[in-house]
Structure 1
Amino acid sequence: MEYSKSQATFPAPERPRQAPGRTRQARSPELHQERAVQTRTQILDAAAQLFDERGYGGTSVKDVADRVGMTKGAVYFHYPTKEALTIAVVEAHYERWPLLLESVQSKGLGPLDTVMELLDRTAEAFCDDSVVQGGARLQMEQPLPDGVLPVPYVGWISLLEQLLVESEEAGELRPGVTPSAAACALVSAFFGTQHISARLNRRKDLVQRWAETRNLIFTALRA
Structure 2
Amino acid sequence: MARQLRAEQTRATIITAAADLFDRHGYESTSLSDIVEHARVTKGALYFHFAAKEDLAHAIMEIQSRTLRRLANDLDSRGYSSLEALMRITFGITRLSVEGPILRAGLRLATGGVRVRPPLAHPFAEWRDIATSKLRGAVRESDVHPDVDAQAVAHSLVSAFVGAAVVGHSLDPLARQPRRTAELWRIMIRGLVPVPRRARYVGLAARLEREITTA
TM range (shorter): 0.7 to 0.9
Instruction: Please tell me whether the aligned partners of residues 112 and 163 of structure 1 are also in contact (alpha carbons under 8 angstroms).
Output: yes
C-alpha separation in 2, matches of 1:142 and 1:149: 15
Query: Which runs of structure 2 are paired with 1:1-223 in the superposition (5 Å)?
Result: 33-144=4-115, 150-223=121-194
1:97 deviates by: 0.4
- Structure 1 counterpart SS, 2:174: coil
Q: Secondary structure at the match of 2:144?
A: coil
Query: Post-superposition shift, 1:173?
Result: 1.2
Q: Which 4+ stretches in 1 moved above 6 angstroms?
A: 145-149
Structure with more of its chain in helix, by fraction: 2
Cα distance, 1:145 vs structure 2 = 8.6
Gaps of 5+ in 1: 1-29
State the number of aligned residues.
Answer: 194
CA separation of 1:144/1:107 partners in 2, compared to 1, >3 Å: closer, same or farther?
Answer: closer
What's the CA shift for 1:31?
Answer: 10
Moved more, 123-132 or 38-47: 123-132
What whole-Å deviation, never above 9, does each CA across 1:161-213 have from its counterpart, x for those lacking one? 11111111122212422211111121112111111111212533110111111
8 Å contact from structure 1 (residues 93, 131) kept in 2:
yes
How many percent identity over aligned positions?
A: 29
Question: Structure 1 residues 210, 158: closer, same or farther in 2, change over 3 A?
Answer: same
Deviations along 1:35-62, one digit per CA (max 9) or x if unpaired, are: 1111100001001111111111111111
* Corresponding position of 1:16: none
Question: For residues 97 and 64 of structure 1, what CA distance do their matches in structure 2 show?
Answer: 25
**CA offsets 1:124-155 (integer angstroms, 9 cap, x no match):** 12211211111111111123498797434111
Aligned equivalents of 1:38 and 1:125: distance in 2? 20
Q: Is the 8 A contact 1:142 1:149 kept in 2?
A: no
| Partners of 1:148 and 1:101 in 2: CA distance | 20
Structure of greater relative contact order (alpha carbons < 8 Å, 6+ residues apart): 1
Q: Which runs of 5+ in 2 are unaligned?
A: 195-215
Check conservation: 2:86, 2:131, Cα contact below 8 A.
yes
